[in-house]
Structure 1
Amino acid sequence: MHELSDIALLQRLQQADEAAYTEIFHRYWEKLYAIAYNRLRIRTAAEDVVQEVLASLWVRRKELDIRHLSGYLATATRYAVFRQISRLLPDQPLDNPDVQQLVSTPDSDLLDFYRLQQRLGNAIDELPEKCRLVFLYSRRDQYSNKEIAAALQLSEKTVEAHLTKALKHLRIRLKDVYPYFSFFF
């Protein structure tokens, strides 16, 4: 397996080849851990991030269309770091010492992301309850419209209407930072 290219490994992964997954795990674990640890500076949190990314790769293997495995995993790890910070520091103000410690990196990307995330969270909280739930199921939990409809006992058309309403609201509320949230819209 060591001699296989990333593309060959991805093809085998999509066919549920556990050996291919194991090879990807061994090939990228250290690199992903370095990315996560460099931002978090907490060993267990960094390990959790890498585990989350690699587990997601296996679970979503059939639906992913990955062209460059290395880049995909690095990006997924960065987003997982941001989610991990949200889990570690829920509802904490930016001047909290724990937040400052986590985001005190040489560059300000993490602090900027945290501020943007707070703005997004505030805008999402302004949505009506059903609309907010539909948006969170769709974007945060990555449920399909059909799954959301079943979970909330709504029609798929109603789910689509709630998503449209939520996205319109968020575009208006976050128009000055809209490009940063393109992965939600």
Structure 2
Amino acid sequence: MVAGVNVPVLIGPVPLLTVTSLTVNEGYQVARIAGSRLAQLVSPTTRTITVEAVLVGRSRLLVKKGLEALALTSRALAPATAPLMNLAGLPVVCGMTISLDMQITGLRFVQSNQKRDAIDVSITLEQVPRSSLTAVLGEALDLALASGIAAAPSVSSMVPVRRQLGGVL
């Protein structure tokens, strides 16, 4: 990555250029072992992604309509709107994850007097696996992203702060 370059978060074909936060929640199924107090994590159950962004510029209403169209897309309408969606859900591509098979489950748009030329958007997506092949492909892409980020030099401006004992003893 090059410092100063704005890399968008992609939700399907819709780029979000001004993302303020992105949260990935993962849940896991717990099974009790019969006759024991022990439990074991047996499989992942849910993955949700929440994106908070600001839609700015002249295209803000077009991006809003694009997100609404993606949210309304059902499996029956998927081949007409995006031919590959009958095989996989919405891909979400960002610096933290590449997740296939996502579906928008919530959209919230807010416009205020303080930001008349901008729209705050909150998007909630849930993973809805369509096939085991796309689930494996999504995990492979996510692993490739993690490996690539680990190998790339960091552009973070955050500098670790030394711990100091400031006469607290």
TM-score of the aligned structures, taking structure 1 as reference length: 0.21
Structure exhibiting the larger radius of gyration computed from Cα positions:
2
More strand by percentage: 2
More helix by percentage: 1
Higher relative contact order (CA 8 A, sep 6+): 2
